[in-house]
Amino acid sequence: YENVAFAMEANGRSDEEVAENVPQALALVDLEDKAWNFPHELSGGEKQ
């Protein structure tokens, strides 16, 4: 979640926009169930 949110925050998105759009972005790549995992907890394919 935080890695995706960071990019949005760096582009000036509001907290409300980030909270709304991060789950949508994760759903696009079928990773919504991994939102709070650390990078080392993801498989190689999920990291890509």
Task: Evaluate whether 23 touches 32 at the Cβ level (below 8 Å).
Answer: yes
Query: What is the pTM assigned to this prediction?
Result: 0.79
pLDDT at 30: 92
Domain span including residue 39: 2-47
Question: Do 1 and 20 form a contact (C-beta atoms < 8 A)?
Answer: no
pLDDT at 47: 84
pLDDT band with cut points at 50, 70 and 90 for residue 46: confident
Residue 18 CA to residue 13 CA, distance in Å, equals 6
Task: Name which of 22, 17, 16, 20 is nearest 4 in CA terms.
Answer: 22
Mean pLDDT of the chain: 93
